[in-house]
Amino acid sequence: MRTRCRISPVVMAAALLPALYGCSRPGQDAGASSASASGNELTVLLDAGYAGAWPGGLDPATSTTGRANLTLMNAVFGGLFQLTADADGSNARVAGVLARDYEVRDDGRTLVIHLRDGVRFTDGTPFDAEAVKFNIERDLTSPCTCAPTAWPWRREEPVTIPDPHTVVLHFTRPYGAVVNALPATNVNWIVSPTALAQIGEAQFRITPVGAGPFRIVSNQLSSKLVLERNPTYWQQGRPYLDKLVFQSIGGEQAAMQVLQAGDAQVYEGMTSTPLIEHAMQDAGLAVTQQPPTSPYVVQLNTAHPPFDDKRAREAIYYATDVEAIRTGLFRGWYPVSQSFTGPGGLFHHGTVPGYRGYDPARARAIVAELGGLHITLGTLRSFVAEQVTTALQSQWREAGIDVSIETHDFAVLIREFQVGKWDAMLQTAGSYDPEASGGVSFRFRSDQPFTGVHDPKLDALLLDAAASFDTHERDGLYLQAAHYISDNAYGPFLFAFASTQVFARDVSGPGLSTKIPAILVNTGIWWQDVRIAAR
């Protein structure tokens, strides 16, 4: 009896040893323990807190999370347009998918979209201008922030269809970002009007019908979406995959283990620095860091003390050591930004002349001159933002600034802006096109709800830039706006953050193994072109 008892733990330890040994050496023999795709099926993991949450379903007109669910939407609906780029992320441009091409007329007041010929929805009905018009008009009634209701649509007949393959959008004034912003709006995703009428709106939220590369097999909201190849997809030989499964998962640590166990092959938008490094060391995994478009900015509330005083704002600029945060927390992966653009986006300029850099002595002197500076720094709850606010707090304290940190949920953040008593907020300000939703206007224009700046001159610059279709003119105006923001110390920019794709080495495709800038937060993967290498 005694002997048996002594053996038990030994046997247990012997059984667990190989496993534990494997755990302690992640880099070695990792090929044997990491994700690889099986057959022609792919399982994609999505963060349950963002891209992996689709509580309202996937109907573009009724979902309220379409922008976060960009990847699901593109897989099911294909999209009229998608952002593409060369393999290294350069030469980014909006390209037609279900639309053949587009032209801008009437000095930017009219956008003509030419549709592809012979495209059909997966229910067999034709994908034509009538369907697109029906969709756009329906989508504009959506409460989703992804509905482009703020575009300057013509009141009467905003959409016309001169022929079955042409759709014309009419605006009251030019809107320069219309094409660049379109791939992240719900009007980009076209559903079958016939299927909608047949199924009914309630069920259509769960199993919408599109003309994209995949069709829905099953949809468990915010949990699991199972798709199969659309055999009638317009592009010959596409998609390559037979089956595509999107699985929502809570936590990046758990996601990494699932990839290493081989139960999934892709994780979209990883943010944790240690886990990205871990993936880089794993021979079975590949990592693509996408070109950043959205810089972090410390918004300062200029309507409210202490930041109604320019000196207090300057102190924040001088007290902020961006390089230390960038290298200390993020291994130097994300480039420093001095304005509202990132290297992956349009109209990017790496530096802004006269930008106030790190100068703790000057920061301390200003704080002393002000007789002290007590502020609250808020942010939206997220791994990266919370790390950055902690770093800022420590840097600013060294300059004599007394900083309290508040981390908010959506609702509290919204209320803070509504009440208007906040001091400073760490946010992102950017998108592929600076004017597109979540871009510079969103954070700096007086008429926007989430701004801390109320300056008519800056408003005019941003409005002029948004109204122009002339690339050179827009570039000049945004450079002026960046200058103006810097000169007035309206908010220090930190670094341009980008999400990271982690995936099995035998998987490849645009936006996954190649670089495409994020149109807003996530990169749009071209699922029709994703393939698994023959093994």
Least distance in angstroms from the C-beta of 62 to other proteins: 8
Q: Specify the residue, 68 or 182, whose C-beta has the smaller distance to other proteins.
A: 68
Structure tokens at 233: 């997809």
Pull the structure tokens for residue 492: 């220090």
Which of the stretches 64-72, 160-168, 346-354, 488-496 binds other proteins when contact is defined by CB under 8 A? 64-72
Residue indicated by tokens 């300059």: 399
Please identify which residue in 90, 253, 281, 394 interacts with other proteins, judged by CB under 8 A.
253
CB of 435 to other proteins, least distance (A): 14
By CB under 8 A, residue 450 contacts other proteins: yes
The two structure tokens encoding residue 145 = 């922030």
Query: Of 37, 42, 51, 64, which one interacts with other proteins (CB under 8 A)?
Result: 64
Nearer to other proteins, 45 or 161 (CB): 45
Tokens of 28: 């070695």
Question: Closest CB to other proteins among 351 and 418?
Answer: 418
Nearer to other proteins, 249 or 463 (CB): 249
Q: Give the Cα separation of 296 and 339 in Å (integer).
A: 9
By CB under 8 A, tell whether 226 contacts other proteins: no
Q: Does 419 bind other proteins (CB under 8 A)?
A: no
Handedness of CA 335, 340, 343, 348 (dihedral sign): negative
**Position 254 contacts other proteins (CB under 8 A):** yes
Find where tokens 């016939």 sit: 194
Q: Is the CA virtual torsion 235, 238, 243, 245 positive or negative?
A: negative
Residue from 239, 343, 345, 438 touching other proteins (CB under 8 A): that is: 438
357 binds other proteins (CB under 8 A): no
CA dist., res. 473 & res. 347, Å (int): 10
Q: How far apart are CA 368 and CA 425, in angstroms?
A: 23
Strand-pair partners of 407: 379
Q: Which is nearer to other proteins, 286 or 319 (CB)?
A: 286
Contacts of 293 (CB under 8 A, 6+ apart): 341, 342, 344, 345, 430, 431, 432, 496, 498, 517, 518, 519, 520
Task: Please report how close the Cβ of residue 308 comes to other proteins at its closest, in angstroms.
Answer: 23
In whole angstroms, what is the distance from residue 342 CA to residue 71 CA?
22
Q: Does residue 8 touch other proteins according to CB under 8 A? A: yes
Which amino acid, residue 140?
A: L
Nearest Cα neighbor of 317 from 498, 496, 487, 497 is: 487
Residues in contact with other proteins, counted by CB under 8 A, come to a total of 63
Q: Does residue 221 belong to the site contacting other proteins (CB under 8 A)?
A: yes
Using CB under 8 A as the binding rule, whether residue 410 contacts other proteins is answered as yes
Among 13, 197, 324, 414, binds other proteins (CB under 8 A): 414
Taking a C-beta distance cutoff of 8 angstroms, is the pair 288, 513 a contact? Answer: yes
**Under the criterion CB under 8 A, does residue 68 sit at the interface with other proteins?**
yes
Near other proteins by CB under 8 A, which window of 57-65, 388-396, 495-503, 509-517? 57-65
Stretch that binds other proteins, among 103-111, 122-130, 244-252, 388-396 (CB under 8 A): 244-252
Contacting residue, 23, 87, 197, 460, with other proteins by CB under 8 A: 23
**Smallest distance, other proteins to C-beta of residue 380, A:** 6
Of residues 418, 420, 457, 471, which one binds other proteins by CB under 8 A?
418
Question: Residue 213: is the preceding peptide bond cis (ω within 30°)?
Answer: no
* 144 in contact with other proteins (CB under 8 A): yes
Residue with tokens 């829905």: 216
Burial, 149: exposed, middle or buried (Cβ in 10 Å; 0-12, 13-18, 19+)?
middle
User: If you search the block for the tokens 């959205």, which residue do you land on?
Assistant: 294
Give the CA-trace dihedral at 88, 91, 94, 100, to 10 degrees. -100
Contacts with other proteins by CB under 8 A lie at: 1-2, 5-6, 8-9, 16, 18-20, 22-23, 33, 48-49, 53, 55-57, 62, 64-65, 67-68, 143-145, 202, 205-206, 220-224, 247-251, 253-254, 257-258, 260-264, 380, 409-415, 418, 437-438, 442, 449-450
